[in-house]
Structure 1
Amino acid sequence: MKISAFLPCRAGSERVPHKNTRSFAGIEGGLLKMKLRQLIACDSIDEIVLSTNDDEVIRIAESLSEPKIRIDRRPEHLATSSTSTDDLIKYVPQVIKEGAVLWTHVTSPFIDEELYSKAIDQYKQILSEGDYDSLMSVMALRTFIWNKTGAVNYDRDKEKWPRTQTIEPLFEIDSGIFLADIDIYNNLQDRVGKKPLLFENNDIAAFDIDWEEDFFIAEAIYNQLKKN
């Protein structure tokens, strides 16, 4: 089974300026270089399709001289702040024609080659068993979650404040890994199928850089992990 990593990396991030390429924890090339190295180190990944309209992203990628990396110069109309994920999903079959697609992001710096390998192994296993058709990474929420009308994930008529360990978890999609065959992109126009396996990450692996403060928190986590 061919596994192609799809790494979207457009120019012009608004919430975190230059988040893909600015120095991260002293690493020149930043999150992009970290992520490319993680994907390169994963033997289960056959190619890395770096989809971008950013010349700096291309320069950093080419500096690695890695044959697994394939640059896709994404059309500008699919690389704006208003581009929907649905539109980008519809674009993927134009650049990946066969096999499975592992969609990931540079903003998940703690999903490394070991986690990618583990996810791919589980994906292959569930396909052979026939219970699921795809996989996506999530973080379990075992906290008191309410909407405007009350508790969502526990019954206050039974117990007003249960131990959080006993609460049936809800799952937050952490956007770190989506794994599905290219046929699902073509037939369902989605990056997961109708029955995805929820691949559970811990809080650190699930950390996603979405805001400026997230960037600095991620640097602190990374530096602490290096010390340990």
Structure 2
Amino acid sequence: MKTIAIIPARGGSKRLPNKNILSLGGVPLIVHSILYAQKNKAIIDEIYVSTDDETIKKIALEYGVQVIDRPEYLSGDLEPTVSALRHVLESLDFEVENVILLQPTNPLREEKLLKDAFEVYQKGNFDSLFTVSRSHHKLGKINDNTFIPFNYEIGQRSQDLDPLYFENGLLYISKAPLILQEIIISETAYPLEVNSNFANVDIDTQDDLDYAEYLWDKFSFKKQHTPNPSQEGS
């Protein structure tokens, strides 16, 4: 059975129009996830882009990956990502064991992240894994114009907070049967902690894209990626 990577990239975006094809480091945003998957062919057997957009489809094909045309009813603003993943699986004529989700809006990933994550996933015999990062913020709610602390007491030092974590979106691995049940993260999913500046990148606004560009330049991602379309199929 195969391990496949799915990169879901619909065309519509309200806050940052056409974000999946905007330039980051000289190539369209979606290309970063494609290149990352291609550099992990020891793990990934097939790479698929799920899209409803002809421009995204053209780019994906130029970079040598396969495209699953996403129907309009699965391309709305409120449609969950897992619906696109399930559609890909249902479109294939072979059995899939593992699905690796690479979101194009989280384009900066450390080179060894997938290798290390997949090793943890396999050794622990987990049905799913996702990446998380620790939050060092003092969080609270506002009720009736009153701030109510959630994870601390007023006056408590930040370094003394009980650790809380957020789902950073860098990487997801799931067993295919879970995806068919429309589940990406199971109740027993392994939370892999990743604490880096890259974990704070989730592109939804121009400011997010500008920050990603800053990190791209600062950490010399040019050394890890090539802007030229792959000549190899996936």
Say yes or no: TM over 0.5. yes
Tell me, in whole angstroms, the C-alpha distance in 1 between the residues paired with 2:157 and 2:140: 16
1:55 aligned partner: 54
- Taking only the aligned residue pairs, the percentage that are identical comes to 25
Q: TM-score, normalised by structure 1?
A: 0.84
| Runs of at least 5 residues in structure 2 that lack an aligned partner in the other structure | 224-234
2:216 is aligned with what amino acid?
Answer: Y
2:198 maps to 1:205: yes
Shift of 1:196: 1.0
Structural mapping, 1:101-116, within 5 Å: 101-116=99-114
Letter in 2 for 1:126: G
Q: Match of 2:130, SS?
A: strand
Instruction: Report the Cα distance in structure 1 between the residues aligned to 2:83 and 2:195, rounded to whole angstroms.
Output: 30
Determine if contact 1:99/1:182 at 8 Å carries over to the other structure. Answer: yes
Secondary structure in structure 2 of the residue aligned to 1:7:
strand
Q: Which runs of 5+ in 1 are unaligned?
A: none
1:70 to 59, 66, 71: 66
Q: 1:204 to 1:95 in 2, by over 3 A?
A: farther
CA contact (8 A) 1:89 1:190 kept: no
Match for residue 215 of structure 2? 221
Is 1:181 matched with 2:175?
yes
Measured in 2, the distance between the counterparts of 1:161 and 1:2 equals: 53
Pairing of 1:112-127 with structure 2 (within 5 A): 112-127=110-125
**TM-score with structure 2 setting the length:** 0.82
Deviations 1:132-191 (A, max 9, x none): 43111112112211123622223x3xxx433323322111111221211011123x4211
1:24 to 2:18 alignment: no
2 CA distance for matches of 1:55 and 1:145? 42
Over the aligned positions, Cα root-mean-square deviation in angstroms equals 2.2
Contact 2:33–2:102 under 8 Å retained in 1: no
Q: By how many angstroms is 1:86 displaced?
A: 5.1
